[in-house]
Chain A
Amino acid sequence: MRRAALLPLGGALASLAALAAPFGADAEGLGFARLCLGGLAAACLWAGFAPGVGARPAGTAAVAALAALAGVAVVRMLSGGLENTAGPGFALALVAVWLSAWHVVDAATAARPRDPRLASAANLVAPVVFGLTVLLLWEGVVRGFGSSMMKVILPAPSAIAARFGSSLPTLSADFAQTFQGVSVGYALGCGSGILVAILIDRVPFLQRGLLPLGNLVSALPIVGMAPIMVMWFGFDWQSKAAIVVIMTFFPQLVNTVAGLASAGRMERDLMKTYAASYGQTLAALRLPSALPFIFNGLKINSTLALIGAIVAEFFGTPIVGMGFRINTEVGRMNIDMVWATILVSALTGSLFYGFLTLVERRVTFWHASYRQRTT
């Protein structure tokens, strides 16, 4: 049998088994869920074993739609009386949805559409489907089978979302507090890193002295300086900004120095034949060619800055801030609140990073790594 047909076969078998097995207590929406599972089984068989190979993608599309429907139906049954009392049918339904999603990802990966827009859409399908499946399995397993203990230490995504929605004021206050330290420290640390790199550019002796030290310091556990900064600058955001400055300075320095050295000899010679001054060469050639390196440093630092601020808040804050929230709510076993705060920090981190990537693309559109993509 073809390997590609294994997953749909598994999906179909699991769906059929889920239809046959008991779901547990009498739950609302059982009929609809069974309908979806029956359809899913048929779609799986179609996607795996349709007589004409050309017809199978249509089957895969049907699998995607029906698996999504079945997933929603199964989760809704949890609220309809199946919470904690799920039976084997429920587990089999989850398995069926999982195998179907895997098949969809597989098919989306194997299909290589010619149209570049379709291709990038296919690239997006895999991670999105994967993420949604993980969320669905997490929700289903925790709420269907979890003990009350498990629900405390690993709350279901819906519980986290509910907590997120109901504590928006707290979360936004925490975010504002932490982000103030992060942004001030980030601007100061990265700014001074770039400035010092430009200043020592004319003194190769200092460069050779600072670079190995900078590389070394970048590998050290600088977060440990957090308690000292809290002692020096107090509990408020200033101490967080200070630790962020220390954490971001050296990576930025090292990257900028490497960037300033990256301009090619041909280009430098050209500037020389133009009789360009040091400042002109710096402004017109070396800084632009250093930009990819500078952005690399900025990106590395975006994560470091958040880590520094959050860890510094473990050592002492006014009673607000993401690190403070995580530390106290963990102590009270309000893990859903911890997850909500982690969600905020993850969103902040990836938005920050995404923003930097966007700016980088606008500013270094001429760079080879972006040029190649358009042609």
Chain B
Amino acid sequence: MSTEAASLPRAAAPPRPGVWAGLWEGHALPVVVVSLLIVALWYVGAVAMNADLQRSAFENAGQKTWTTAELVAGTLAQERPRLPAPHQVAEELWKTVVDTAPTSKRSLVYHAGITLSATVLGFLFGSVLGILLAVLIVHVRSLERSLMPWIVASQTIPIVALAPMIVIILNQLDVTGVVPKAAIAAYLSFFPVTVGMVKGLRSPDPLQLDLMRTYSASRLQTFLALRVPSSVPFLFASLKVGVAAALVGTVVAELTQSADGGFGARLLAGSYYGQTVQIWAALFAAALCACLLIAVVAFADRIVLRRMGYTR
């Protein structure tokens, strides 16, 4: 199919495409195909990367010759492969999520609970802080001029580098448990929320603001009736970024504060003991949690926007 055809508007397409054409034009089939391609590539990669290990394993076992089928089967069933096969990761996930009691330290549900509680707490705190700061920035001009450039500039620096220091300092001040991790999650999620919310509160155009003035609306009334409603789409867009950033912050904080558990601690332990399957399982669980958090925010987004009449 040529690019020119793809850029034609939808109306020009045949009025009733068949099921297959619909699948081909839609997103679901391509995503599935590409995902399957990735899984296939992953298997190839697993065989290629683990082959050396497997050969030496055969030699150590005194086996002089082996068939290719044996070799491939061996590479996909190692205990500590360089790259575990997808089904090994899936098995590990199943074992640690479903087969293990959620209270056990071997259960990923247990670790997910630790990570998620810090993430959600930090995210809530960070977004409230970000929204408050945005409201201040929009209403106090000198604050906007003096603070906003610093907030924008701070986006260009790797703030995650601060995570270990914040954790250690808070630990020194006898603040332990969920709070230091939540602090970093809050810290990471508050920047995108502030920037997005300032943009959103500024989004009413001058005509609308003038209309409010002709109603002789007070600043508070303009804020509540015009600025807040028009900022909501911006708010949710930045909340999605913020919640993903909060999870990254929590995981990085758990690298430093690994005694409490969580995905970061699982990653660290896995890398210490060479438990690659465990690392990959923790990674996938973390990715699932990220998807879950974003989906929750997106769901809230859709409901709120529909109630507010943004989408019909």
Q: Which residues of A does B touch, CB under 8 Å?
A: 102, 105-106, 108-110, 123, 126-127, 129-131, 149, 153-154, 201-202, 204-210, 212-213, 216, 219-221, 223-228, 230-232, 265, 268, 272, 278, 302-303, 306-307, 310-311, 314-316, 322-323, 326-327, 330-331, 333, 335, 338-339, 341-342, 345-346, 349-350, 352-353
Are A102 and B251 in contact, CB atoms less than 8 angstroms apart? no
Whether A105 contacts B145 in the complex (CB less than 8 A), given A208-B27, A221-B248, A227-B270, comes out as yes
Are A105 and B142 in contact, CB atoms less than 8 angstroms apart? yes
Are B156 and A201 in contact, CB atoms less than 8 angstroms apart? no
Are B7 and A268 in contact, CB atoms less than 8 angstroms apart? yes
Are B158 and A310 in contact, CB atoms less than 8 angstroms apart? yes
Rounded to whole Å, the gap between the CB of A223 and the closest CB of chain B is 6
Closest A residue to B149 using CB positions: A127
Rounded to whole Å, the gap between the CB of B288 and the closest CB of chain A is 9
Rounded to whole Å, the gap between the CB of B251 and the closest CB of chain A is 5
User: Which stretch (B28-36, B205-213, B299-307) binds chain A?
Assistant: B28-36
Is chain B's interface secondary structure helix, strand, loop, or mixed overall?
Answer: helix
CA distance A149 to B173 in the complex (A): 10
Rounded to whole Å, the gap between the CB of A116 and the closest CB of chain B is 16
Whether A201 contacts B161 in the complex (CB less than 8 A), given A231-B271, A353-B156, comes out as no
Closest A residue to B6 using CB positions: A204
CA distance A278 to B268 in the complex (A): 49
* Interface hub of A202, A221, A228, A353 (most chain B Cβ within 10 A): A221
Is chain A's interface secondary structure helix, strand, loop, or mixed overall?
Answer: helix
Mark interface residues in B213-252 (1 if CB within 8 Å of A CB, else 0).
0000000000000000000000000001100100110011
Contact check: which of B49, B147, B172, B255 meets A130 at CB < 8 Å?
Answer: B147
Interface flag for B279 (CB, 8 Å)? yes
Interface size on B, residues (CB 8 A): 65
Closest B residue to A325 using CB positions: B161
* Interface hub of B165, B172, B271 (most chain A Cβ within 10 A): B165
Are A206 and B252 in contact, CB atoms less than 8 angstroms apart? no
Whether A311 contacts B279 in the complex (CB less than 8 A), given A109-B142, A350-B156, comes out as no
**B1-45 interface with A by 8 A CB criterion:** 1, 3-4, 6-7, 24, 26-27, 30-35, 38
Are A131 and B24 in contact, CB atoms less than 8 angstroms apart? no
Are A307 and B160 in contact, CB atoms less than 8 angstroms apart? yes
Closest A residue to B5 using CB positions: A204
**B112-150 interface with A by 8 A CB criterion:** 141-142, 144-147, 149-150
Please list 22 pairs of residues, one from A and one from B, whose beta carbons are closer than 8 Å in the complex, sorted by A's number: A105-B146, A106-B142, A108-B145, A123-B145, A127-B147, A208-B27, A208-B30, A208-B31, A209-B30, A209-B32, A213-B34, A219-B294, A221-B251, A221-B263, A223-B160, A303-B155, A307-B158, A311-B252, A311-B255, A315-B255, A335-B165, A338-B164
CA distance A322 to B158 in the complex (A): 11
Are A201 and B3 in contact, CB atoms less than 8 angstroms apart? yes
Give every chain B residue within 8 A of A201 (Cβ-Cβ): 3
